[in-house]
Amino acid sequence: DKELFLVFSDPSDYTAANQVLENNNHQLLFENSVANLNAAMKQINFSALVFYQATFSKELVHFLDANKKSGGLKMPMIYISEAINYELHEQLLELGIDTLIQLPANSSFFAKKIASLIERQKEAVQESKMQQKIFEILTEDDPLITTNDKLVKKALEIIKKELQDPSFNVEILVENLGISRVKCYRIFKETLHQSPSDVIMSLRLQKAELLLKTKKLNVSEISFECGYNDPKYFGRSFKKYFGKSPKEYKTIS
């Protein structure tokens, strides 16, 4: 099935936007009013929302701001324009639009960029499911839970306790659990659909996200709190995971 993109633009720019965004892997639906934009998003599942040379009216800003606060827009948002300055960039970040593309650029670049954003969004959904499963396991008090769930629960409790220790890794985890590395990998994949090392990294970065939102510590302090000896490596890992650098994330949180 083709991905469906919602493109918000002035009608006079429809042809130009279509030339830039047209691709065999996706379809485009154009809207030029906030009311129609809102209605379309309630009725159809879109893979991405693209603003092409769009003017950010009070109505559009209110729509985006309200959806950011409610978490209503769970898709990549891209702003495409010939003119992008610092003030506009800052405004877009505040509205939750973190991907800006300046014209001119070819259609192949757009296709690759948007495909990458959609893939990242799918990974975020999978990550959210894993976090929900972790919460369920940690809060489960049923004595009849499976042996695997008991092991994963014990493992998660160990990981959360040791997040600040940069030397903590899968080898130390399996030693504490008293099982083989192969068994540990298997039960994590079966239960959480991720490897133990991925879960450790995920929980470290989730902790970093929470600390950034409090704005009480600087980025270097947060990296050490989450088990990273090198703040630069922490910054790269955080950006790969969340799509924004720790500094950018802290600014818009």
Instruction: Write out pLDDT tens, residues 28-82.
Output: 889 888 888 888 888 888 888 889 888 888 888 888 888 777 666 677 888 888 8
Q: Secondary structure of the chain: what % helix, strand, coil (to 5)?
A: 60, 10, 25
Rounded mean pLDDT, 126-147:
69
Rounded mean pLDDT, 8-26:
84
User: Per-domain residue ranges for the chain?
Assistant: 3-121, 140-252
Backbone phi and psi for residue 90, each to the nearest 5 degrees, phi listed first: -65, -40
The CA distance from 118 to 129, in Å, is 17
The CA distance from 100 to 37, in Å, is 20
Alpha helices in 163-217 (DSSP H): 170-177, 181-192, 196-214
> Residue 232 is encoded by which pair of tokens?
């630069």
If one compares 132 and 185, the residue with the highest pLDDT of the two is 185
Name the least confident of 41-45, 59-63, 95-99, 166-170: 95-99
> Residue 115 is encoded by which pair of tokens?
């495909």
pLDDT band at 112 (very low <50, low <70, confident <90, very high): confident
With a cut of 80, say whether residue 122 has pLDDT above it.
Answer: no
Architecture of domain 140-252: Orthogonal Bundle (1.10)
Backbone phi and psi for residue 117, each to the nearest 5 degrees, phi listed first: -65, -40
Is CATH 3.40.50.1240 the right assignment for the domain spanning 3-121? no
Answer for the pair 174, 111: CB distance below 8 angstroms, yes or no: no
In this prediction the pTM is: 0.55
pLDDT band at 177 (very low <50, low <70, confident <90, very high): very high
If one compares 227 and 3, the residue with the highest pLDDT of the two is 227
pLDDT in tens, 194-221: 899 999 998 999 899 889 888 788 999 9
With a cut of 80, say whether residue 154 has pLDDT above it.
Answer: yes
pLDDT of residue 194: 87
